[in-house]
Structure formats: structure tokens, C-alpha cells
Amino acid sequence: MVEDMTIAEYISKLRQNPAFMDNVTSWQVMPARQARYGEFPPELDPRIVRTLKNRGIEAPYLHQSQAIRAALAGEDFVVVTPTASGKTLCYNIPVLDAIMKDEASRALYLFPTKALSSDQVAELYSMIQDMGAEIKAYTYDGDTPASARSAIRQAGHVVVTNPDMLHQGILPNHTKWVKLFENLKYVVIDEIHAYRGVFGSNLANVLRRLKRICEFYGAHPTFICCSATIRNPKELAETMTGRKMRLIDENGAPAGERHVVFYNPPVVNAQLGIRAGSIPETRKIAASLLKAGVQHIVFARSRLTVEVLVRYLKDMVRDPLGNAGKVRGYRGGYLPTQRREIERELRAGHITSVVSTNALELGIDIGQLDACVLCGYPGTIASTWQQAGRAGRRGSVSLLIVVATSSPLDQYIIQHPEYFFNQSPEQALINPDNLYILLNHLKCAAYELPFEEGEAFDNAQDTGELLDYLKDENILRQVSGKYYWMAEEFPQAGINLRSASDQNFLIVDITDPKKHRVIGEMDRFTVPMLLHKYAIYMHEGTQYQVEDLDFDDKKAYIRRVDVGYYTDADLTTSLKVLDEFDREEEGPLTRARGEVLTSSIVTVFKKIAFDTHENLGWGPVTLPELEMQTTACWWVLPENLEAVYEREPLKNAMIGLAHLLRHIAPMYLMCAPQDISVVYHVKDTFTGAPTIYLYDSVPGGIGLSDRVYEMQEELFSRALEMLTACPCRDGCPSCVGATAGPGAKGTLIAILKGLLDR
């Protein structure tokens, strides 16, 4: 029976529920915020101002006014304000103004996803229609029909695309886009905080290629960037674009009252410090929202968690015919048509509960949601606010509930709410000069336009040396002071901007022997964990068993089943050092960085029961080993630790330290936890002593471990702080992890105090 409560009624009911309130560690009410306004610049085309006033916008918010003025003055800038603060007008207004004043002017919009591109084009197009102007705005991506492409190249005033299409479809064919590149006035890059790590490093190089082509055609566009709140937006935008940027961060937009609730699942075993699982607790909260008829979104950190929760919630609302459309899942790996359908259903209000990975974190318009539940802390303060911003987007009262997992980071945040509310230690990190990535884009740039001798690739180091290397490899040919492309292949095709691997696997449903259909896709590095033979693959809550995984053909064949369990695989990783770049000794602790080779293999998988989450058994996995060369930093602990502590307590302490570092480092690097990996060796073959390695989980590395190397003892100090703050006696899943044995906490505290000289 579904009640029809307002969000205010639901919040009031929640406050009066002792079973819920007993587990709340913090309930903050962020008051509604009044709008602060600026003025439209007098030189703005009056038709734009008139249209905005007809839409009820009498004056721009303060940040919008500053941004419009900066754009009209030709300044490159980055706007940093929260979700739903009207950043779109910061670039739409100056772009429309430029085209109204000069019909030849062109603009290029870049969004990280196709969903955002189509969303923004609809918004821009409705404004153009209201103005009655002859301005053409088009989306140009993989879904654009071939018949429309030549018209867009010739007539498109505003071309809306994503980095992948710019990289593969537009830049290599710049001779077909002469009108765009000769008259390019603005380049808009929205959601720049999404471009970090591999994706961001790739995009920075795509922009180097874009600027080079613009220069060839005599254009010098203004760059407009928009970001959610991060610590280093100006630095990120400058590294991304290679331009000096002005920072605009005075938010003038109003906001509704927001309730932020931190919920720590109850302790079920006090002696071991074990808490109830975050998935069952999230399920209870989402079920109560569903029952109350409150439209909400649940964010989970993994595809598997999304599917498990979707399955639970769909079972709650099935009608006699088995339909459960009020609950939908949303994640990477769903096909684009399915994702667009879910977005439309959300906007129309037909879906009460959507369970998503961070795929819905970006500013896609999904209509009015009242509540947001996070199954686990997303890993960064910025991401938490981005996800929270999906609820209450119309200035109404909204609710955010963060359900903690047992991870040390979650437990630290949930028990230190002041840390979350008072500071943001996160920065977005990219490394455009990463050799692996830079060399790939240098090939693309040479294919697009020959390089002159002595020409620099924007601000990249050693361009000449790299061009000579490509010449020696018979990829380029040097003639009359220029480097020309001579290889047969199309270099752009082999580069996937979003990961260092371009190998995606297709997931084929063979339930109906007469009609096989592709229902999803998955990247190569995730496949061994989730698509090995006999794995239970879940898609929108429906279970499938993997019948066969064809590694050569990059296809997984699955068949629909209905079993009472799901599967999870164990990954084993080994590591060896190839080269040491730097080494520094600081008292008893030695740190170093260099190049390493990692080998990963999945050998077994577990069957886990729904509802009880108990282990029902295991099965073997026979897949090839995956090797990766990357960069790492490592800490060599004193050799005498082996003499002071017995092998088992020392091993348990190192398991605990690796566990802590794995969860602490992403806080400082603003990367996803899976972007780095941590391994420990009680007796390392390279150093001959107890050693902890932290490496980039990306071929070639992207500078994450280099940044950690520069932090010196900071991570160890934070690890000690977390350990001593944990209320358990002997160590628990929240501090030393679930696999550390008895005595790990005391041993690790003693070791860390010795290393930090305390």
C-alpha cells in the first residue's frame, strides 16, 4: 500500500522513528538561501534580455552576471557553483549574443556524456525558439544520422558534442568543418570536475589538438568552463585548456532547505565491531520512501550493488502481471536507448525510485526528486554534494541520507561530520604530459596536420624528441622541415579517452535461441570479475548466468535464470619493480617511486545468498592473467620490525595499513578508489624489507602515485589518527579491515608511532 506523503511529512515521521534515530550520528539542516542578483550587461542584444524576462528571469544571478561580462570581454574563465544554480545561462547567453551580432560566429559545446549533450541542446533550442532567431543548434555524436551530418558541418552555429566525438569524428575531419574552425568564437566545457585521471588527461590533449587546428584556420576561441565545487577548479581548468583562467565562484542562486542525515548501521557484534550491512539498511530506507510515495534516487558505488538493490525494490512493487516499472536501475553498461528511456520516465514522474551508480551524478535533467540516499560515502565531498543536488532541484525542501559502510573512510566521515561540513581536501588531478597518453595524441595531431620542425605541441615537453621517436618507428616521415603521417592505420581509432584500454566486451542475451540480442557492454578490466563463466550477471534486477566468455571475440553470452544468489569474484594481484626513479630516507621510513609490472588474475568466485548474504559456496575461474606496466610509490619499513614482531602480527598490521591507505589516499587525490591499488609484502623481493606499494591502476600511470610520493608522511599521520579514533578494542572492519587478524590494531599503532617518531 503506497501512501502519498510530502517530503516534509516524511522527514517529520523519520524524526519520530526511534529505530532510525538511534543510528543517526548527525542531522544537519541547511537553511534555505536567498538569491543574489547582478545585472545584464548593457551591450547584450536586447532580444536576449526580452526573451529571458518573458521566461520570468528579470535579472541574472550574481555569478551569471559576472560570467556573461567576462565572456563578452573575451576572458577565459571557469564558473564554480553547486548543482542547479543556472550555470547553463553563463555560456548560452554570450554564445547567442555573439551569433545574433555576427551570423558567421560558431560555438562548440563539450559535455562528458551523450545524455548531457541531448539534455542541453533541448534547453538551448527552446530558448532560440522563444527568441524567434535563425540560429541552428545541433547535437553531433555517434547517434547523429549520416544524412544530418553534412548539414550540421555547414550550417550548425552551435555544435554540441562529447570529447569522444571531437577526438574521433571532428578533429581528424577538420577539412569538412572549415566553417566551424574559421569562425569558432567560444569553446564551452561543462562539468570539468568529471574530467580527472585518465579521461581528463586525454581531454587536455584533445584540446591541445583543437587549439592547434583553430590556429591553422586563424581562430582564437574563448574557453568557458563550468564545474561543481572542487578544491582546485582554476588549476584544473588551466591545466586542461593551457590558458590562464579567471575564477568565478560567488554563487548567487537560491536554494531550498536541505536535511543532511548521516546514518551508521547498528552494531550487530560488539566484540568484533561488526555492523549491519549497508545494502540491507539502504534497502530499508529506500523501501520506506517507496512506500511513502516520495520520489527519490539511491546512489550505490558499484554495478553489483545497484543490481542487488533494484532486485529487492522491484520485488516490493510488482503488480500481479510482474511489472515493476516504478523502480528502475541506471548504470554504465546499459545501452544508450535504455538510459534515455529511463531519463524520460523520471522527468515524467513515472518512476518513484531509481537506483544508480554515479552515472546520474552529472547535471542531466531528471525532473523533481525529493530525496537522495547514498549507499556508502561516494569517496569525495564534491561527489556527495553533486549526488545530493539531484534532489530538491526546484528549490523545495530535500533530504539526503548517507548510509555508511564498514570501510575506514565511511566510518571516519560518519563519526566526524565536522570534517565533511567544514573542509574540502579534494582536488582533481590530471597529467596531460603522461607519456603513454601524450604520445597517442601526438600521433593524432600529426595525422590531422603535419608538424613543423621546432613546433611545440602546446605546452608539452620534448615534442621534438617524441616526433623523432615516431619518425624512427616509421609512423612519421620528415620532409622539407615537416613531419608527415605515413602509417596506414587511423590513430584515433585505437584510443579510448575514458580508459587506457580500448577493449570493450559486448554482453549478448541468448535466452531466446532464435533471437540473440546485445543488452550491455563492459570494459576489459571489469570483465574477469563480473562476466567469467558461471557468474550471475544482473541487469535491471533480472538475473542471467554467463554461459560462455569469448576473450578473443570480446563477447559474453548470457542466459536468463532465476536463482536465489548473486556472485562476486576474488582478484589476486602480484607486483614487481622494473625501475626506481627516486628514493628518500626520512628517519626510520624510506619512500621511493618508480615503474612496476602488475599481474592480476581471478581464480575463484563466491555465491552469495540474497536476503541473508551468507556464502553458499564457490567455483573456479579459468581466465588469462592481465599484465599492466604502471607507476608506483612505495614505503620501505625498517628491517628490524621482523625481529621486534612475530611474522603473523606484522602481517596483520600490514594488512591493516594497506587497507587504511587504500581508503585514505582517494580523499586527497579526488580519484575513484579503483584508480589506485595498494599491496603489501612482509618480506619484499626488491627491497628485502616489509614494504607497502601504492600504484596507479592505469597502464603507464597518470601521476596519482607521484602526488602521493610528494605527501611524505601525511597519509601515515592520517592512518594513525583514524586508528586511534576508532572505538573498537582490537581492530575491526572499519579501521584495519575485515581480513586483518587479532592484535592488528595495537601492533599497527605501535609501528606508526615509531615511524612518525611519536
168: DSSP letter? I
Flag whether pLDDT at 500 surpasses 60.
Answer: no
Give residues with Cβ within 8 angstroms of 217, minimum separation 6: 174, 178, 181, 182, 184
Round to whole Å and give the CA distance between 342 and 330.
8
Flag whether pLDDT at 10 surpasses 70.
Answer: yes
pLDDT number for residue 670: 62
Residues of the chain by 3-state class (helix, strand, coil), percent to 5 = 40, 25, 35
pLDDT number for residue 220: 96
pLDDT number for residue 363: 62
Round to whole Å and give the CA distance between 154 and 176.
8
pLDDT number for residue 18: 95
Range 538-547 burial, b when 16+ CB lie within 10 A, else e = bbbbbbbbbe
Flag whether pLDDT at 132 surpasses 60.
Answer: yes
Lowest mean pLDDT, pick from 145-159, 334-348, 618-632: 334-348
Round to whole Å and give the CA distance between 338 and 53.
37
Split at pLDDT 50, 70, 90, the class of 672 is: low
How many Cα neighbours within 13 Å face the side chain of 618?
Answer: 9
pLDDT number for residue 322: 64
pLDDT number for residue 589: 87
CA nearest 577: which of 518, 531, 633? 633
272-302 pLDDT tens trace: 677 888 999 999 999 999 999 999 999 998 8
Looking at 370-505, list the stretches that DSSP marks H as alpha helix, in order from N- to C-terminal side: 381-388, 408-415, 417-422, 435-448, 463-472
Q: What is the DSSP string of 407-433?
A: SHHHHHHHH-HHHHHH---------TT
pLDDT number for residue 394: 61
C-alpha cell at 9: 511529512
Q: Are 240 and 258 in contact (CB under 8 A)?
A: no
How many Cα neighbours within 13 Å face the side chain of 580?
Answer: 12
Round to whole Å and give the CA distance between 91 and 11.
37
Round to whole Å and give the CA distance between 191 and 184.
21
- CA-to-CA dists, residue 505 to 180, 485, 502, 521, angstroms: 35, 31, 10, 6
Query: Across residues 506-528, what is the average pLDDT?
Result: 87
pLDDT number for residue 374: 96
120 or 512, greater pLDDT: 512
Round to whole Å and give the CA distance between 575 and 680.
10
The separation between the first and the last C-alpha atoms of the chain, rounded to the nearest angstrom, is 59
Round to whole Å and give the CA distance between 95 and 71.
9
Range 305-335 burial, b when 16+ CB lie within 10 A, else e = bbbbbbbbbbeebeeeeeebebbbbbbbbbe
How do beta strands 398-403 and 371-375 pair?
A: parallel
393-413 pLDDT tens trace: 666 899 999 999 988 778 878
Split at pLDDT 50, 70, 90, the class of 627 is: confident
pLDDT number for residue 16: 95
Angle, in degrees to the nearest 10, between helices 88-101 and 62-72: 40
Query: Across residues 723-749, what is the average pLDDT?
Result: 82
pLDDT number for residue 135: 92
Lowest mean pLDDT, pick from 3-17, 331-345, 510-524: 331-345
151-205 pLDDT tens trace: 888 888 999 999 999 999 999 999 999 999 999 999 999 989 888 777 888 999 9
C-alpha cell at 324: 515493476
Residue 626: beta bridge partners? Answer: 600
Q: CA gyration radius for the chain? A: 27
**Residue 702, SS3 per DSSP:** coil
Round to whole Å and give the CA distance between 301 and 115.
20
Is residue 506 within a helix (H) or strand (E), and if so which, with residue range? strand 504-509
622: left (phi over 0), alpha (psi -120 to 50) or beta: beta
Q: Are 167 and 494 in contact (CB under 8 A)?
A: no
Round to whole Å and give the CA distance between 364 and 374.
18
Q: What is the average pLDDT score of the chain?
A: 88
**CA geometry: angle 306, 421, 381, nearest 5 deg:** 40
* Type of residue numbered 653: A
553-575 pLDDT tens trace: 889 999 999 888 889 888 888 89
Among 73-82, 351-360, 418-427, 512-521, the range with the most confident prediction by mean pLDDT is 73-82
* Type of residue numbered 736: V
Round to whole Å and give the CA distance between 280 and 308.
10
Q: Are 444 and 495 in contact (CB under 8 A)?
A: yes
pTM (2 d.p.):
0.79
Looking at 318-353, list the stretches that DSSP marks H as alpha helix, in order from N- to C-terminal side: 336-347
Burial class, 572, CB count within 10 angstroms (exposed 0-12 / middle 13-18 / buried 19+): exposed
**Residue 525, SS3 per DSSP:** coil
pLDDT number for residue 382: 79
Round to whole Å and give the CA distance between 69 and 46.
15
231: DSSP letter? S
Burial class, 558, CB count within 10 angstroms (exposed 0-12 / middle 13-18 / buried 19+): buried
pLDDT number for residue 97: 96
176: DSSP letter? G
Round to whole Å and give the CA distance between 377 and 675.
16
- CA-to-CA dists, residue 324 to 316, 321, 638, 642, angstroms: 8, 9, 59, 58
pLDDT number for residue 426: 63
713 or 636, greater pLDDT: 636
Flag whether pLDDT at 1 surpasses 60.
Answer: no
Flag whether pLDDT at 741 surpasses 70.
Answer: yes
Give residues with Cβ within 8 angstroms of 733, minimum separation 6: 273, 274, 275, 406, 407
Flag whether pLDDT at 429 surpasses 70.
Answer: yes
- CA-to-CA dists, residue 489 to 204, 384, 474, angstroms: 23, 43, 12
